Amino acid sequence: MAGYILKNSIRMFLLIIAVSIAAFLLMTYSPIDPLQTNVGQTALGIMSQEQIEKLETYWGSTLPPLTRYIQWAKDFFSGDMGISLLYRQPVSDIISQRLSNSIWILSAAWILSGVFGIILGMLAGIKEGTLLDHIIKSTAILFSSTPIFWFALLMLMLFSVWLKWFPIGLSVPIGVTAENVTITDRIYHGILPSFVLSIAAMPNIILHTREKMITVLESDYVLFAKAMGKSNQQIFIQHGMRNVLLPAITLQCASISEIFGGSILAEQVFSYPGLGQMAVTAGLGGDMPLLMAIVVITACFVCAGNLLADVLHHIIDPRMRFGKGNKI
């Protein structure tokens, strides 16, 4: 077991390094000139050659890419993530602040979508073919076809502009110093974004759980259990729930990636100062150190989620431990 975890951890670690190399190279070969985007064409025109050169070294477009990657990686692992080009602050400061904003809504969305998604999926699966199943299934399909940002826009319009229940943006009230921000303020500002995120993440888990539940209930062992005279409730607890819960939890661990992706859109709409919004700003402005840090941190979360899914699967499901042949 420990060997399995170790092996997978190393694999994930290598994967993160590979992701960081790829991201670094992609950004290095970007045709978007950071000087042009951030300094502006007109400003560049009136600058002297020396000034331009100085700026070029500041935005780092003179050294060969490999040297720069190694330099970057060395600094990164010693805890120095560099200085953000746009904000002129250490990246680690920005990241830790943004991440602490984001982590609230991300984990709320993750837990909510998991709990309600699994419950609704099971319910739909048990009641297959009924009106309830139909409603749950169609709603899930409808939401999986809805762009998150549009749904976020509608919610913003409905709850913030018309009903005025929730604030229009930001993670804390305006004009309040950091010490005076209460936990209620944080929750109040985070409700809409996390609601939107959890709704957006739910269809996937609902549809998967429903599908799985139907297969389980159609299986021979459930038929046998029925023949033995077990009640529906007993069948559900002894067979249905057990078999469905496992893949559902695994899926939910793997869905961290999707929630992170969705948070980029949701935070942008709600102008919530989190990691996702930062990714957009860094991407549009060509702020490489910042975007690199976001990429690596996000990759860590995603890989940790995948690792957790693998390990959980391994621990809970004995078939994974003993049957080695059927991995495909």
Rule CB under 8 A: which residues touch another protein?
15-16, 18-19, 22-23, 25-27, 29-32, 141-142, 144-150, 153-154, 156-157, 161-162, 168, 257-258, 260-262, 264-265, 268-269, 279-280, 283-284, 286, 291, 294-295, 298-299, 302-303, 306, 328
Cβ 27 to another protein shortest distance, Å: 5
Give 153 or 320: the residue with its C-beta nearer to another protein: 153
Q: Whole-number minimum distance, CB 310 to another protein, in Å?
A: 11
CA distance 213 to 236: 9
- Please, which residue, 173 or 181, has the CB nearer to another protein? 173
**Distance of alpha carbon 4 from alpha carbon 53, whole angstroms:** 51
Shortest distance, CB of residue 48 to another protein, whole angstroms? 29
Nearer to another protein, 236 or 270 (CB): 270
Residues 251, 204 contacting (CB under 8 angstroms): yes
- Give whichever of 47 and 254 is closer to another protein, judged by the CB atom: 254
Phi and psi, residue 274, nearest 5°: -115, -170
Q: Closest distance between another protein and the C-beta of residue 16, in Å?
A: 7
Q: How far is the CB of 162 from another protein (least distance, A)?
A: 8
Query: What's the rounded Cα separation, in Å, for the pair 104 and 110?
Result: 10
**Which residues contact residue 157 at a Cβ distance below 8 angstroms, ignoring those fewer than 6 apart?**
none
| Closest approach of another protein to the CB of residue 234, in Å | 34
- Tokens of residue 274, six digits: 């989190």
> If you search the block for the tokens 């888990």, which residue do you land on?
205
Give me the residue label for tokens 């070969």.
29
Q: Nearest distance from residue 80's CB to another protein, in Å? A: 22
Distances (CA, A) of 235 to 193, 207, 219: 38, 21, 12
Closest CB to another protein among residues 47, 304: 304
Torsion of CA 20, 24, 25, 28, to 10 degrees: 180
In the bound complex, what is the minimum distance in angstroms from residue 50's beta carbon to another protein?
A: 28
Name the residue nearer to another protein (CB basis): 39 or 241: 39
Comparison of 31 and 79: residue with beta carbon closer to another protein: 31
SS3 content of the chain, % helix, strand, coil (to 5): 80, 0, 20
AA identity, residue 6: L
Distance CA 118, CA 326 (A): 26
Nearer to another protein, 229 or 325 (CB): 325
Angle between helices 148-155 and 183-217 (to 10 degrees): 130
